Chains A and B, each alone.
Chain A
Amino acid sequence: MTTTTASPRSVRDYTHPLWRRLLATRESAIVGLLIIVAVVAATTVRGFSQPITLTYLLLDVTPILLIALPMTLVMITGEIDLSVGSMVGLSSVVTGALVQAHWPFGVAALVALLVGVLGGAVNGLLVTVVGLPSLAVTIGTLALFRGIAVGTLGTTAVTDFPQQWTALAQARISGTTIPYVMIPFLILLAVFAIVLHFTPFGRGIYAVGLSKDAARFSGVNVERTKLILFVLTGVVSAFAGIFYTLRFGSARGDNATGLELQVIAAVVLGGVSVFGGRGKLYGVVAAVLLIGALSSALRLANVTSDVINIITGVLLVISVVAASVLAWLQKKRRRPNATATTAG
């Protein structure tokens, strides 16, 4: 409905100079905004340009950054996974409960990852085999996974994790201010970027989002594609949950409540259409960093987290509305007497 991918705009755009073409895409606008926020914050907010700020900023956004990768792919196929925040909580609880039962940490983490695979498979199978809408399915598993997590540990928290692991979650690569956790993130980013942008499987993901039927007729296994993506989302969420547990040294049933909305807000801000078929990973990464930098700067400037939430929400609304208003204006200017072609 509002996507413009399939319109002949990309052809038209070559008549504009390069800078206008770059600004015209959603992704580069977000990158530009990120740079502006970073520069303005570094020059006006005391403490933002300190190296330690970058460390905490990255540590804070890491769970969102990680989960946003598979979520981007899922949403490009036109589906959604609302259960990711609950999966973070569940994997956190699984890790904690097993460590409490004197399992070695590595094994406990492995089991948590398997739980992530399993949870993702449940979502994926309900969506593909049973044919249910993912929004409804993952509202169900959002409650289910969170319920199991809270049910298992109750209100207690497991806090006695091996020191070397909790230290690793916060440690920085020697000589830099960049946390170690950025290494697995960058590897994942590279893998996801290559898969999405340079493989037939990735092209299939876009095809599924643009038209399921057309994708099927051109040989894409729609069901298998979606199933794989849901499993990936589950396992990456579980990984984020293990990181979350170590970072705060605490496994609780209510860990990362509401994280799903933060991830989806970032993915949408990064230019992924909830109708599917459109979006790029670098836009999403830039959007996560934009929200992170903005809230980090505002917090340093003593703005409360509630105002930051308002700003995040308004930013999200403005960005999607502005994109659609711009598209409408462009269309109107180009074809003044044929406006109703994509209406409805």
Chain B
Amino acid sequence: MTTIAIRTSSLTKTLGALGRARELGILLAVVLVVVAATIKNPAFLFSHDGWRDLLLTPSILLLVAVGQAVVIITRNVDLSVGSVVGLTAYLTGRLFSDIPGIPIVLVVLAAIVLGGLLGLINGALVAFANVPSMVITLGTLYAFRGIDVVWAGSNRVNASDLPRSFLALGTGQLLSIPILTIVAVVVLVAAGWYMRNARSGREHYAIGSDPAAAHLYGLRVTRRVLLAFVLSGALAGLAGVFYAARYGTVDSQAGSGWELQAVGAAVIGGVAIMGGVGTVWGAALGAVLLMTINRALPVLGIPDFWQGAVVGALIIGAIVLDRVLAVRQRRRLIEARDES
């Protein structure tokens, strides 16, 4: 083992570069889209609104995608996140309109806690009942959205119901960077550090690579899976607050369809749907690419009706590329083994 490790040290470097290239490719795509749109219309990047939207729009999906990536890395999936975003966004609006003068921090905490609790329901059902997460979260996708619709009815929270200081959070900037984006990046860095460096973070990968082996090895599979779902729910809850702050209006359909956007972002960003592979950084980049393309298409002269088609082609292109790279990497590893 050790001799192989020494011999392949130069190889692991190139492999590492290859692994990084996976996320670099997505970054490159983002840059390309932004450059193309900016050449066509400089306001896309260089106007105040353009710059703000560029950073702000992906921040909400980014949070959901980070949580989704952690769940997918454990070889599960959370399809209920869109409904959690909707429910917490509406909770945010209702708390402000029902309890005048409620501190913003309290509302943010309430949304995160509600999101975490909904995630706990998912996680508990998945981890203890030993039922595939796709089925469980498909069920809670309906149930949570249903609760949201029953609760909200045809009511909607309008910007006038929300305190100005809260809406300022959605538009406010620090050194020309939106506050929401800063929060999202802080969350991303924390999650990225945890998944890369912390022992318990690494265990998510072990669980996703081979749940049975992780169990036999004595890893706390149940606890990790549970926590991954709680994290996903809590981040979706935070995204719900962001949603309310950014858009000002929340109806019962807020966040619907986001589950597939979040899974799509993670998949584009190189998180393997079979678990064990990928980073939250990649998922975040995937979210940025998805949302930026949505905004860039009309600027590039493509009617927004075609957004979906481009996004679909992008997802397929990304997973095919990922597969090609994986096959090449495996071939190299086998060659390296045969040589040694």
| Chain A residues near B (Cβ < 8 Å) | 1-2, 80, 82, 126, 130-133, 135-137, 139-148, 150-151, 154-155, 253, 261, 264-265, 268, 273-275, 304, 306-317, 320-321, 324-325, 328, 343-344
Contact = CB atoms under 8 A, between A and B. Distances in A.
Interface string B25-63: 000000000000000000000000000000000000000
B312 A143 contact: yes
B146 A310 contact: yes
Contacts of B135: 268, 274, 316-317, 320
B167 interface: no
A264 B147 CA distance: 21
B138 interface: yes
Given A139-B263, A324-B129, A261 B141 contact: yes
Contact of B311 (A80, A143, A344): A143
B312 A313 contact: no
Interface of B: 77, 125, 129-132, 134-136, 138-147, 149-150, 211-212, 214-216, 221, 252, 260, 263-264, 267, 272-274, 303, 305-313, 315-316, 319-320, 323
B312 A141 contact: yes
Contacts of B211: 344
A315 B138 CA distance: 11
Contact of A126 (B125, B216, B306, B316): B316
Given A265-B139, A313-B143, A343-B215, A147 B306 contact: yes
B312 A140 contact: yes
B222 to A, nearest CB: 10
Contacts of B212: 344
A337 to B, nearest CB: 19
Given A131-B323, A151-B303, A274-B132, A142 B139 contact: no
Nearest to A154: B305
A2 B130 contact: yes
A153 to B, nearest CB: 8
Given A304-B150, A343-B215, A344-B212, A143 B264 contact: yes
A147 B310 contact: yes
B320 A130 contact: yes
A314 B140 CA distance: 7
Contact of A130 (B146, B312, B323): B323
B125 A317 contact: yes
B147 to A, nearest CB: 6
Contacts of A136: 267, 273, 315, 319
Nearest to A314: B143
17 contacts: A82-B260, A132-B323, A135-B273, A139-B267, A140-B264, A140-B267, A144-B315, A147-B307, A150-B305, A151-B305, A306-B252, A313-B140, A316-B138, A320-B132, A324-B130, A343-B130, A344-B214
Contacts of B136: 317, 320-321
Contacts of B303: 151, 154
Most chain A beta carbons < 10 A, residue from B136, B142, B252, B313: B142
Contact of B142 (A273, A309, A320, A325): A309
Contacts of B260: 82, 139, 142-143
B150 A310 contact: yes
A144 B313 CA distance: 6
Contacts of B142: 261, 265, 309-310, 312-313, 316
Contacts of B139: 265, 313-317, 320
Which one of B138, B149, B150 has the highest number of Cβ atoms from chain A below 10 Å of its Cβ? B138
A310 B143 CA distance: 4
Contacts of A306: 145-146, 149-150, 252
Given A2-B132, A143-B312, A126 B320 contact: yes
B315 A143 contact: yes
A308 B274 CA distance: 33
Contact of B131 (A2, A131, A315): A2
Given A2-B132, A142-B260, A147 B216 contact: no
Contacts of A146: 308, 312
B94 to A, nearest CB: 17
A168 to B, nearest CB: 31
A278 to B, nearest CB: 12
7 closest A-B pairs by beta carbon, nearest first, are A144-B312, A147-B308, A147-B309, A313-B142, A310-B146, A143-B312, A313-B143
Contacts of A343: 130, 215
With most chain A CB atoms within 10 A of its CB, the pick from B136, B140, B316, B320 is B316
Nearest to A311: B146
Contact of B264 (A139, A148, A312, A317): A139
B22 to A, nearest CB: 15
B132 A275 contact: yes
A129 B203 CA distance: 32
Contacts of A321: 125, 129, 131, 136
B273 A133 contact: yes
Contact of B319 (A132, A261, A314, A315): A132
Contacts of B130: 1-2, 324, 328, 343
Contacts of A144: 308-309, 311-313, 315-316
B136 to A, nearest CB: 6
A89 to B, nearest CB: 10
A244 B120 CA distance: 38
Given A131-B323, A137-B316, A144-B316, A274 B309 contact: no
